[in-house]
């Protein structure tokens, strides 16, 4: 991979991925909404890598501007070899019930805006006839659960969209990867007590790196989540609806 674009560059998973691959890149473009954090990240990237590093401050929830964003990126780096989409927020499910406006704003951030961004990016990659689009969904997208179905539904939407997009992009030789992490120790989950099922951002990043290189379609990371979710998906609804999940 020569030219790497990361959207949501300041996320824990993005940073871990950047650490893994930076020294293989020629051009790196980092997009995030905080100029201050981007500056700190750019210093880091320029230290550990010889690549040219550019930062763009952008609120990714703002889908109307996605087209402009992607053309600015293309002007900056030419060909996009890999675009990693890794941003979002863990939705406060309890608040959704009492504050539907919040719920929709969250759905937009984790769902709709990610779909919009994926569309713009895949159009660009199709034009090139090459490249990988890697988007982070979640195991939460596999089945709506009482504790976080607003977040889960948004991830679900993204993943269904990507499944179709992947097939559609075959003719353009564009690779689309759906990444489904389980529990990852990042700022998003700093309030949670960590147990045996938790993985580090670095572990997830190394799985992502391998999946992109091998042009995999769907990545569960760590691997065992594929089987945990398989079981969860198999539970009949009449039982599932009673489970405190």
Partner 1 sequence: MNDSWGNICRPRQTQSNLNWRTDVLPVADKKLVVGNRRSYGDVCINDGGAIIDATGLNRFISFDRSTGIVRCEAGVTLWQVAKFAVPLGWFLPVTPGTGFVTVAGAVANDVHGKNHHVAGSFGCFVKKLQLRRSNGDELVCSETENTELFAATIGGLGLTGFISWVEFALKPIQHSMMAVDSVSYNSYEEFLALSSESEKTHEYCVSWIDCLDKSGRGVFFRGKHAEEGGLDADLEAAKRSVPALVGAGFPLVNQLSVYLFNATYMRAHAGNRQYTETIAKFFYPLDSLLNWNRIYGRKGFYQFQCVVPLENAEVLKEVFACISAANQGSFLSVLKTMGSIASPALLSFCRPGVTLAIDFPNRGKKTMQLLSTLEDLVMHAGGAIYPAKDATMSAATFEKSFPKLAEYIQYVDPAFTSSFWQRVNAK
Q: Report the interface residues with ligand NAP, using CB under 6 A.
A: 8, 10-13, 32-34, 37, 59-61, 86-89, 109, 136, 138, 181, 183-184, 186-189
Q: How far is the CB of 28 from ligand NAP (least distance, A)?
A: 16
47 binds partner 1 (CB under 8 A): yes
Residue 88 contact, options partner 1, ligand NAP, none, Cβ 5-8 Å cut-off depending on partner type: ligand NAP
Residue 36 contact, options ligand NAP, partner 1, none, Cβ 5-8 Å cut-off depending on partner type: partner 1
Q: How far is the CB of 207 from ligand NAP (least distance, A)?
A: 12
**CA-to-CA distance for 106 and 66, rounded, in angstroms?**
18
89 binds partner 1 (CB under 8 A): no
**CA-to-CA distance for 108 and 154, rounded, in angstroms?**
8
**CA-to-CA distance for 91 and 12, rounded, in angstroms?**
17
Which of 24, 127, 146, 194 is the binder for partner 1 (CB under 8 A)? Answer: 194
Which of 2, 33, 44, 172 is the binder for partner 1 (CB under 8 A)? Answer: 44
Closest CA to 45 of 74, 65, 25: 25
Strand residue runs (E) in the chain: 3-7, 27-32, 52-57, 82-85, 132-136, 175-181, 184-185, 199-200, 218-221
143 binds partner 1 (CB under 8 A): no
Question: Which span sits near partner 1 by CB under 8 A: 42-50, 70-78, 89-97, 155-163?
Answer: 42-50
41 binds partner 1 (CB under 8 A): yes
Nearer to ligand NAP, 50 or 59 (CB): 59
**CA-to-CA distance for 222 and 196, rounded, in angstroms?**
12
170 binds partner 1 (CB under 8 A): no
Residues with Cβ within 8 Å of 68's Cβ and at least 6 positions away in sequence, in order, are none
Nearer to ligand NAP, 76 or 200 (CB): 200
Q: Exposure string (b/e) for 133-156, b if CB count within 10 Å is 16 or more?
A: bbbbbbbbbbbebeebbbbbbbbb
**88: phi then psi, degrees, rounded to nearest 5:** 145, 180
Site residues (CB under 8 A) for partner 1?
A: 12, 15, 36-37, 40-41, 43-44, 47-48, 187, 190, 194, 196
């Amino acid at each position: 991979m020569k030219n790497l674009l990361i959207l949501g560059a300041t996320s824990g998973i993005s940073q871990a991925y950047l650490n893994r691959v930076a020294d293989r890149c020629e051009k790196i473009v980092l997009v995030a909404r905080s100029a201050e954090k981007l500056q700190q990240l750019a210093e880091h990237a320029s230290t550990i890598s010889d690549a040219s590093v550019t930062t763009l401050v952008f609120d990714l929830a703002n889908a109307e501007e996605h087209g402009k964003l992607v053309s600015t990126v293309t002007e900056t780096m030419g060909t996009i070899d890999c675009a990693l989409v890794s941003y979002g927020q863990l939705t406060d499910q309890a608040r959704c019930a009492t504050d539907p406006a919040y719920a929709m704003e969250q759905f937009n951030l984790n769902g709709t805006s990610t779909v919009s961004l994926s569309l713009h990016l895949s159009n660009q990659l199709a034009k090139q006839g090459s490249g990988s689009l890697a988007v982070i969904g979640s195991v939460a997208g596999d089945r709506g659960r009482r504790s976080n179905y607003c977040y889960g539904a948004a991830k679900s939407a993204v993943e269904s969209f990507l499944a179709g997009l992947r097939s559609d992009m075959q003719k353009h030789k564009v690779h689309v990867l759906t990444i489904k992490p389980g529990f990852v120790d990042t700022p998003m989950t700093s309030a949670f007590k960590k147990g045996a099922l938790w993985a580090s951002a670095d572990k997830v990043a190394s799985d992502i790196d391998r999946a992109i290189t091998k042009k995999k379609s769907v990545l569960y990371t760590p691997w065992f989540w594929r089987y945990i979710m398989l079981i969860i998906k198999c539970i009949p609804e009449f039982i599932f609806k009673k489970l405190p999940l």
